[in-house]
Amino acid sequence: MTYRHDDDNIYPNVQTQTRELLKRFDAAPRTPTRTTVVETIGGGRIAAIFGRMLAWVGINWVTGCGETFITYTGERIHGECVFMPWRD
């Protein structure tokens, strides 16, 4: 038996099954708007907190926090730490 693309007898219920499946997807329960808003605000806050922490670490890395630099005269200079009063 060979398969012909114009043969509709192989899968006779495909169109009705597809319609039923699409109806189920359309009738799927939606999340309430309040839940979506709360999740969006919460996700934004978490992203802002992590972004600030990453920026703080990056700024301290660039300024040389915790490192000691030796000048040509032999003097030791400690790197500046931003927003770390316990390191000053």
SS3 label, residue 7? coil
Residue 79 contacts residue 69 (beta carbons within 8 Å): yes
65 burial class (0-12, 13-18, 19+ CB within 10 angstroms)?
Answer: middle
What would the pLDDT profile of 55-85 be if each residue is shown by its tens digit?
Answer: 999 999 998 888 888 999 999 988 888 888 7
Residue 66 contacts residue 77 (beta carbons within 8 Å): no
The residues that bridge with 68 in the sheet, in sequence order, are 78
pTM for the full predicted model: 0.56
SS3 label, residue 42? helix
The residue ranges of every structural domain in the chain are: 32-87
What would the pLDDT profile of 13-57 be if each residue is shown by its tens digit?
Answer: 777 888 888 888 777 677 788 988 999 999 999 999 999 999 999
Query: Which pLDDT score is estimated for 21?
Result: 82
